[in-house]
Chain A
């Protein structure tokens, strides 16, 4: 039976613990693929980032994580889908998101993790603001992010 774990995390995201949980669930599978998104230390203009602020909606954010994880589980031949996403203030170098999947065979696990991230980038209900020495700016998906998402249409 396929299982889906999707969680909004307001505290520290412990990527090692998330992976260990996925490994535990994946007993019998032949492949696990995981991705960890990390807060960057510089903006695209090469200015230092002091913190990343991830604002969320009290109900829609978790629903979006659950829907994206569920869709990945439906779409690929995977056994487990595991998504954890931070909210709140994040320091550079800290993890923002963990997206992983286990499967009997590696291809499905790779594709599921890739799909999860493309959808999280463009559809997860967060508003991202980088704050640094030159002020604050909202971060929105790039054209490349939308094109990556479009690969799965």
Chain B
């Protein structure tokens, strides 16, 4: 059963500059990671290059998700900009 819903996401690093640390995206839920990324690109065309960067990871409950993975309704995926320590 798919229905339009507000999906909350968290963003880190330079992605938080673009979307805010937390924001909501209007999506048919549940949806795939790829669909969510595409919706974000449509909402924020200026962020398209960053969102398509292979180093950007989407995690849910500390587990890295793949494009085809489904984001269950009510869960909060996190978009991690490229990381760097040291």
A59 lies within 8 A of chain B by Cβ: yes
Binds A, one of B22-30, B35-43, B68-76, B77-85: B77-85
Residues of B within 8 A of A126 (CB): 83-85
Report Cα–Cα, A55/B83, bound state, in Å. 10
Q: How far is the CA of A145 from the CA of B85 in the complex (A)?
A: 11
Please report the total number of A residues contacting B with Cβ < 8 Å: 26
Is A31 an interface residue when CB atoms closer than 8 A count as contact? no
Interface size on B, residues (CB 8 A): 13
Taking a contact as CB atoms under 8 Å apart, the answer to whether B12 and A57 are in contact is yes
A126 to B62, alpha carbons, bound, how many Å? 14
CB <8 Å contact, B13 and A55: yes
- Assuming the A-B contacts A55-B12, A117-B86, A120-B86, are A63 and B62 also in contact, with contact meaning beta carbons closer than 8 angstroms in the complex? yes
Q: Which positions in A face B, CB cutoff 8 Å? A: 37, 54-55, 57, 59-60, 63-64, 85, 96-97, 117, 120-128, 138-141, 145
